[in-house]
Structure 1
């Protein structure tokens, strides 16, 4: 085992905070079991991290893109969807809007995008618009509202499902605008909606959801 390999393994052990191993490094340096031990620890932590992020994302059950029926809906840009699956839009914190009538798979596509982001190591939260806005509107103190808005603003990817399916008050519209403003150009938001011109559209005139 050369010096470069030893230094790399030691750095990986330090990143994992294997303090006992680091403390006795001089005694075990060069041992063949060190590399697989560190790899096992990295793999296990990556697995636990993914499982935790999947649990926190609240995606629910969904059909994988491999089983998606591209013949329904009748009009869908498959190439554009597959390009989105590369997650290149996350680099520039670009927002995505999936528009179409009920039952054509908008939520499924959003869930697949979110799941791909989780696999790539990103944090994700999936939330129905009505549930999220109702929850925010029900908070009766500014501090509680700030904390909850921070929670929704924090994930690398926030999926807001079914925007425009229900009627929203000005209060709901203001809250949605506030949340989008907090995330704008910092983190990506994915929105599904059945309306091209939903009641909240004017609220995004200065903070558009797509660019």
Structure 2
């Protein structure tokens, strides 16, 4: 009979405790040293990790997006590819640093932000995606302090909060105050990713007359990675290509029809 390795046995037992497999632990003296224990624990760990990932993906609500491998880096006129790829290492999460993608419409800000957020999900982090209008509209609609506190806690809790499309609409002072409160709660505690089509100097147009704009930007960009992207809209490029392809198809069809008529 093989004598169990005490260190290995204790490591297996610790894994069982972490999994809260109380039935197995209760009968540990009877099964200690059995060669099926290690595979059993591995299967349970892998299954729980899979279920956890699926749950976090569902809760994150990232939606459909193009993978980084399919991103056309040559299309933007200016983009720091090395900086974006470095974000995929998730080192910024260790410092609870923020990430801001700035650029005009259609240059891939949301796509890149979602790829970083997805990488965080795979690494076991909690993620939440919201458009700025959706989130701020929801918060501003709450008419009780207790409901507002609970919802602010909901948005402050994830390891990564992705706020999309700041700058596409203008907001009231109340919206600005709510965003400032949320950024302040997450400041130096958890990472926030923001996409915006406005330079920080123009955020006063997004939140007209709001006194907290300077402080809001200051806390958002402190130790943040700011990725600026310049170029034409990729969506417009795709629309032009589709239009040109349809025109070519119509030309071919028209030419074919003319030849048939001639015969």
TM-score (norm. length: structure 1): 0.97
Q: Deviations over 1:182-209 (max 9, x none)?
A: 0000000000000102234424254233
- Whole-angstrom distance in 1 between the partners of 2:139 and 2:216: 19
Residue of 86, 90, 93 corresponding to 2:93: 90
Work out whether residues 96 and 210 of structure 1, in 8 Å CA contact, stay in contact via their aligned partners in 2: no
- Whole-angstrom distance in 2 between the partners of 1:107 and 1:73: 14
Is residue 28 from structure 1 mapped to residue 31 from structure 2 by the alignment? yes
- Whole-angstrom distance in 1 between the partners of 2:76 and 2:94: 29
Residue of 177, 198, 201 corresponding to 2:203: 198
- Whole-angstrom distance in 1 between the partners of 2:189 and 2:75: 34
Residue of 133, 136, 139 corresponding to 2:139: 136
Work out whether residues 173 and 203 of structure 1, in 8 Å CA contact, stay in contact via their aligned partners in 2: no
Is residue 207 from structure 1 mapped to residue 210 from structure 2 by the alignment? no
Aligned residue number for residue 162 of structure 1: 165
- Whole-angstrom distance in 2 between the partners of 1:179 and 1:9: 42
- Whole-angstrom distance in 1 between the partners of 2:161 and 2:218: 20
Work out whether residues 101 and 194 of structure 1, in 8 Å CA contact, stay in contact via their aligned partners in 2: yes
Residue of 151, 175, 178 corresponding to 2:154: 151
Moved beyond 6 Å, runs of 4+: none
Q: Which has the larger radius of gyration?
A: 2
Aligned residues: 211
Q: Which runs of 5+ in 2 are unaligned?
A: 208-212, 224-263
- Whole-angstrom distance in 1 between the partners of 2:158 and 2:105: 27
Work out whether residues 122 and 156 of structure 1, in 8 Å CA contact, stay in contact via their aligned partners in 2: yes
- Whole-angstrom distance in 2 between the partners of 1:14 and 1:26: 14
State the 1:62 CA deviation: 0.5
Q: Which runs of 5+ in 1 are unaligned?
A: none
Is residue 63 from structure 1 mapped to residue 91 from structure 2 by the alignment? no
Work out whether residues 99 and 192 of structure 1, in 8 Å CA contact, stay in contact via their aligned partners in 2: yes
